[in-house]
Structure 1
């Protein structure tokens, strides 16, 4: 194995990130769920305050994996946190420590930023990932259930919200 490098992604990496997102969706049995496009990722990464950050793992300059994450906040801890949205390494590159190196890099950023936690979700059938995360000291939060509202349901929920009161001053 050649030299490994972990580096922050730039807008110019949008196509590589998109390919990793698609590959992850294939692995997670949801290939049709990806609706974003490389141009969207490029535009978002180029914003003054991008909605996400991404680290790329490269071996001899060739991208082999990525970690995509964004900030959160814990009211209980009174501290920021990081949510790891995606962690993916090409199948032929697994077992060489790339996933661990990516996760360690995100954890290092969390510590540097004063975060109280690093969290992510994993599909319950993905036992290789679950074993990998547990081997690094992570534990499943069995008492928590993730909920999601998207698409038409999100729009309908938002329609029922009261409008904010405008100040008269």
Structure 2
């Protein structure tokens, strides 16, 4: 079952985010807290949304997403920030169900695109996404400025 996250799910979402970070070899990189996630997902101006995958009454995965915008299409898109299924629940179609749920949301909302990033070493995920019809954007690379570099660029 896939359902929209509620404020009561924030501790579960954060726990799953931490599991994902450990899987992605960045166990100490998560700086988010429950109050930060609650504000981002359910505050006055939500920055993102989340859905929870449940099996046998327990959360076994989640997807966190937000809208972006394409000037080329003149329409918004849906950007998947995180998709995670617990190891014990993998192979049961839960990841596929999460992607299908988000694709349906994108279509319902008139989005031109459904996009996400994947680590280049995660061959299993890449193969899974290709099987779902995703196409790698080989000519594009992600750029990031954060921390001290962001502060410097901001002139502060």
TM-score of the superposed pair, with normalisation by structure 2: 0.97
Partner of 1:36: 32
- CA distance in 1 between counterparts of 2:43 and 2:32 reads 16
- CA distance in 2 between counterparts of 1:11 and 1:50 reads 12
- CA distance in 1 between counterparts of 2:138 and 2:152 reads 30
- The superposition leaves residues 121-167 of structure 1 with CA deviations (integer Å, 9 ceiling, x where unpaired) of 0000000000000000001001001000011111111117xxxxxxx
| SS of corresponding position for 1:58 | strand
CA contact (8 A) 1:16 1:63 kept: yes
Choose from 21, 25, 44 the match for 1:25: 21
Gaps of 5+ in 2: none
Partner of 1:12: 8
- CA distance in 1 between counterparts of 2:109 and 2:42 reads 21
- CA distance in 2 between counterparts of 1:49 and 1:9 reads 16
- The superposition leaves residues 8-51 of structure 1 with CA deviations (integer Å, 9 ceiling, x where unpaired) of 10111110000110000000000111011112112322213310
Matched, 1:111 2:118: no
Count, aligned residues? 156
TM-score of the superposed pair, with normalisation by structure 1: 0.90
Gaps of 5+ in 1: 161-169
Please tell me whether Structure 1 or Structure 2 has the larger radius of gyration of its CA atoms.
Answer: 1
Matched, 1:86 2:85: no
Partner of 1:67: 63
Could you list the structure 1 runs, at least 4 aligned residues long, displaced by more than 3 angstroms after superposition: none
CA contact (8 A) 1:53 1:69 kept: yes
Instruction: Give the superposed CA RMSD.
Output: 1.0
Partner of 1:50: 46
| SS of corresponding position for 1:55 | strand
